[in-house]
Amino acid sequence: MKDVTVASHGLTAAADATGKPGAAMRPIIQVVAGNALEIYDFMIYGYYARYIAQTYFPSDSEYVSLMMSLMTFAFGFLARPIGAIVLGAYTDRHGRRNGLILALSLMSLGIISVACTPSYRSIGLAAPVIVLLGRLLQGFSAGAELGGVVVYLAEIAPPKRRAFFTCWQAGSQQLSVMAASLVGLVLLYLLAPHELHAWGWRIPLLLGCAVIPVMFWLRSSLAETSVFAAKKKTPTVGDICTSLVSGWRTIALCMGMVALATVTSQTITTYAPTFIKSLNLGESAGFIILFFGGLSVLICLPIMAVVADRFNRRTVLIVVTLLAGLSAYPMMSWLAAQPTVFKFAVVELWFSFIYAAYSSVQVAAMVELVPPSARTSGYAFAQAVAAAVLGGFTPAILTWLTHTFHSNAMVGVWLAVNAAISLIAALALGQKETATRQSAQLQ
């Protein structure tokens, strides 16, 4: 992954993305469906972290129990970099389609293990161990799943619509947020608190298990990208690892670009139910706000992606990171001073917009930095490391910050820190270089 030249980093558009809306949307739906299931499960785990904590990590202290549950969630993210290298290398050698199917298979095992494991009271220490292994397996698969989806979408996209195509990876996540919120709201009204605590939280996970066959059916007919099919030589695992090491500057730059997206996403989705509880605003209001937050991101993403395809990536990234960094602490302080449902909705919708505006540009800019020989492993590794170090630990970090400093406004400090990291990465991008790559073909 040597310093990039346009010739070595161009992406050719696939034959199946010639501009016909129907032809373009079919592979997009096929490839993002599995990603939606992956994120749905992560959302459910975050939404019901308090119930999962008492089921698998019982303790006299609710705070300790919750932290153990959230740390288990975070450990799943630690497996992502390993999955990015192992499964990413498999995808770069054996094809985008084969890699996506393998990732879906491992992800399915992870979801089933968490949904069906008996409680600590039933099987003792084996329960948290199985849950931890399930999260690690799912994190391992997610390490390549997210990168594989983005790379596939980028390689079937026409050069001047790359941000629009790749934005649907994040768009599928919002469908997951909305689905998880609706299921949570329905269960809140149908089940008594003790029923939800005892077994009701498993229902959303079991619903996710039920649609796994549909996901396999969708991906089984997925066509290979023309970019991979045109390769005359596939790299060895050694070649890919060498490329990752030699391209450490590109990897570091991509990791910095991921910071704001992954932390903002985890804050407004996974951590939100815990945040709502600490603000004493009520679970039902939280699920409703989360649904509309996901809907607002789903609407904003394609709009901002069109903007990203018309303007220089670097400029948009700088503007959005500045907005995020300057607004994070003041808005969280405003919310924490006198929490209301209205204030929470304003904050949630604002950072939903920040996430949509940023990720629609960031994803396309990242994939344009990585050369085709190690595109899946390179993109996935940068994404996975940043998600593991920053995003995965965000719910635990925010819980610790608010508990230690006795202030919910500390959520804004963590957001501002990561906005600063992404701002530095955006400033490090060469303006002329990003403009040239934006219109180049990926080959």
Q: In b/e form, how buried is each residue of 89-115, taking b as 16+ CB within 10 angstroms? A: bbbbbebbbbbbbbbbebbbebbbbbb
**For the segment 83-127, what is each residue's pLDDT rounded down to a tens digit?**
877 887 787 777 777 887 888 888 888 888 888 889 888 898 898
- Residue 338's CB: how many other CB atoms inside 10 A? 7
Q: 250 is written with which tokens? A: 């590109």
Nearest to 391 by CA among 104, 39, 16, 30: 39
Does the pLDDT of residue 234 top 80, yes or no? Answer: no
Q: What is the DSSP string of 77-108?
A: HHTHHHHHHHHHHHHHHH-HHHHHHHHHHHHH
- Amino acid found at 281: L
- Percent pLDDT > 70 in the chain is 85
- Helix, strand or coil, per DSSP, at residue 423: helix
- What is the rounded CA–CA span in Å between residue 190 and residue 209? 21
pLDDT at 233 over 80: no
Long-range contacts of 90-94 (CB under 8 A, 24+ apart): 90/144, 91/144, 91/148, 91/151, 91/376, 91/377, 92/234, 92/235, 92/240, 92/373, 92/374, 92/375, 92/376, 92/377, 93/234, 93/235, 93/236, 93/237, 93/240, 94/234
Question: When comparing pLDDT for 176 and 443, which is higher?
Answer: 176
Q: Give the integer Cα–Cα distance in Å for 375 and 118.
A: 40
- Whether 429 is covered by a domain: the verdict is yes
| pLDDT for the residue numbered 392 | 77
| pLDDT score, position 6 | 33
Residue 186 lies in a domain: yes
What distance in Å separates the CA atoms of residue 112 and residue 152, rounded to the nearest whole number?
A: 26
Rounded CA-CA distance 323/232 in Å is 45
- Identify the DSSP state of 221: T
Residue 65 confidence (pLDDT): 82
Range of the domain at 88: 6-439
Whether 434 has a pLDDT exceeding 80, the answer reads no
pLDDT at 146 over 80: no
CATH of the domain at 193: 1.20.1250.20
Cβ 162 vs Cβ 11: under 8 Å? yes
Q: 136: Cβ–Cβ under 8 A, 6 or more apart, which residues?
A: 75, 76, 78, 79, 110
**Which of the pair, 397 or 21, is modelled with greater confidence?**
397
382 lies in some domain: yes
pLDDT band at 231 (very low <50, low <70, confident <90, very high): low
Query: Rounded CA gap, 4 and 6, in Å?
Result: 7
Mean pLDDT, all residues of the chain: 81
Cα 88 from Cα 240, distance rounded (Å): 9
Range 265-272 average pLDDT: 85
Q: How high is the pLDDT of residue 145?
A: 76
Phi, psi for 75 (deg, rounded to 5): -60, -30
Backbone torsions φ then ψ of 11, nearest 5 degrees:
-115, 125
Nearest to 349 by CA among 414, 300, 389: 300
Over the stretch 24-68, which tens digit does the pLDDT of each residue have? 677 788 778 777 887 788 778 777 877 888 888 887 777 888 888
In three-state secondary structure terms, 442 is strand
Instruction: Report residue 66 as tokens.
Output: 């919750």
Out of 12-16, 379-383, 429-433, least confident range: 12-16
Q: What is the percent of the chain where pLDDT is above 90?
A: 19
In a domain, 217, yes or no: yes
**What is the DSSP code string of 283-352?**
HHHHHHHHHHHHHHHHHHHHHHHHHHHHS-HHHHHHHHHHHHHHHHHHHHHHHHHS--HHHHHHHHHHHH
User: Can you tell me the mean pLDDT for 169-197?
Assistant: 87
Look up residue 272 and give its amino acid: A
Q: How many CB atoms lie within 10 A of CB 246?
A: 14
Local confidence band at 273 (pLDDT 50, 70, 90 cut-offs): confident
Q: Which residue has the tokens 């407004």?
A: 268
Q: Is residue 173 part of a domain?
A: yes
Instruction: Give tens-digit pLDDT for 185-219.
Output: 898 889 888 888 888 889 988 888 888 888 888 77
C-alpha–C-alpha distance, residues 110 and 146, integer Å: 16
Instruction: Identify whether 1 is part of a domain.
Output: no
pLDDT higher than threshold 90 for residue 152: no
Average of per-residue pLDDT across 286-291 = 83
Total domains present in the chain: 1
**Residues 134-154: what's their mean pLDDT?**
80
Report d(CA 297, CA 171) in Å as an integer: 7
Whether residue 367 is contained in a domain is answered as yes
Q: Quick one: residue 432, left, alpha or beta (phi over 0 = left, psi -120 to 50 = alpha)?
A: alpha
- Alpha-carbon span 182 to 167, nearest angstrom: 23
Q: Which of 111-120, 292-301, 363-372 has the lowest mean pLDDT?
A: 363-372
